[in-house]
Amino acid sequence: MDDQPRLMHSSHGVGMAGHPGLAQHMQDSTGGADGEGRKQDIGDILQQIMTITDQSLDEAQARKHALNCHRMKPALFNVLCEIKEKTVLSIRGAQEEEPPDAQLMRLDNMLLAEGVSGPEKGGGSAAAAAAAAAAGGGGPDNSAEHSDYRAKLSQIRQIYHTELEKYEQACNEFTTHVMNLLREQSRTRPISPKEIERMVNIIHRKFSTIQMQLKQSTCEAVMILRSRFLDARRKRRNFNKQATEFLNEYFYSHLSNPYPSEEAKEELAKKCSITVSQVSNWFGNKRIRYKKNIGKFQEEANMYAARTAVTATNVSTHGSQANSPSTPNSAGEYCNKSTHKQQMCSFFIGLQ
């Protein structure tokens, strides 16, 4: 409200004396009437506009109507709009220019990647599957966690879309309301279509900020969910007895070279229903722990050695020694010789 009298005053000064387009506007609308008379007319209109707020509602309505019907009104409003455009709005417009928001793009990309925004692809099952793979196992516990993750992600997705829809609806409603209001007001005060457009942009920006907050909190929720799910990686689950036996069997039967090749790891992983990385971890831990405390593992080693001997005897009795990864003879078959030759020697020597 404070701006209006100032604007009008400024318009009066500039528009009356200095605005080059005014004469033309007036020419257009008056057909070249007397200059002094026109000034008087415009002065009257401005005076009426400025005092309209001091009047009662009825008086103001009547005055408004009279103003709207005034022959000079369109020309005057055009001039005022132009002045406004050149002064206030151009400054504000320059200030409002913003670079494309990188943070918003990042949020959008993340929500898309997590399957929260964009077309539904099974509620982010790809991300869940990746997380499950990282968790290192396909056991029943994992599939339960997987579906739990999916369900929670789906919830987040649903909330996100509901809220987004609400914001969009509110934005549209508010924009329409403001546009109607400005259009209505443009009958009594100089508001150009460009100004309305700017106002719409401002509203959209404000709502984008709210949307960004929604996206940000959704991302946070996904990150929390994801980290909780991925934390399951650290949840230690003991391998089942059979898996440990397979691993130990291989380890003790290859004690001279406990470095399974990729093929051997894959086979062991398959037999133990664990991942190749878990096999690698297991052998890594086993080697170091065995080396650190041979005495402690001696009994275990003897037991597996005896078992291997029995197996070997049985196999030779049945005339077949082929393809048993648990027999020492098969070491060469599974061992990546070029990679582990040195380690084999050092490990073996280290144990003697």
Partner DNA sequence: TCGCATGATTCAAA
Partner DNA sequence: TTTGAATCATGCGA
Residues making contact with DNA (CB under 7 A): 134, 136-137, 231, 233-239, 244, 259, 262, 277-278, 280-285, 287-289, 291, 296, 339-340, 343, 347
Q: Is residue 254 within 8 Å of 331, Cβ to Cβ?
A: yes
Single-letter amino acid, residue 296? K
What is the C-alpha separation between 341 and 331, in angstroms, rounded? 12
What minimum distance in Å lies between the beta carbon of 197 and DNA? 51
Q: Which is nearer to DNA, 68 or 281 (CB)?
A: 281
What is the C-alpha separation between 324 and 303, in angstroms, rounded? 18
Q: Which is nearer to DNA, 287 or 307 (CB)?
A: 287
Q: Which is nearer to DNA, 91 or 303 (CB)?
A: 303
What is the C-alpha separation between 85 and 88, in angstroms, rounded? 6
What minimum distance in Å lies between the beta carbon of 164 and DNA? 34
What minimum distance in Å lies between the beta carbon of 228 and DNA? 11
What are the residues whose beta carbons fall under 8 Å from the beta carbon of 96, sequence distance 6 or more? 198, 201, 202, 205
What minimum distance in Å lies between the beta carbon of 330 and DNA? 17
Give the number of other CB atoms < 10 A from CB of residue 243. Answer: 19
Q: Is residue 10 within 8 Å of 63, Cβ to Cβ?
A: no
Q: Which is nearer to DNA, 234 or 318 (CB)?
A: 234
What minimum distance in Å lies between the beta carbon of 340 and DNA? 6
R_g of the chain, CA atoms, integer Å: 41
Q: Which is nearer to DNA, 160 or 347 (CB)?
A: 347
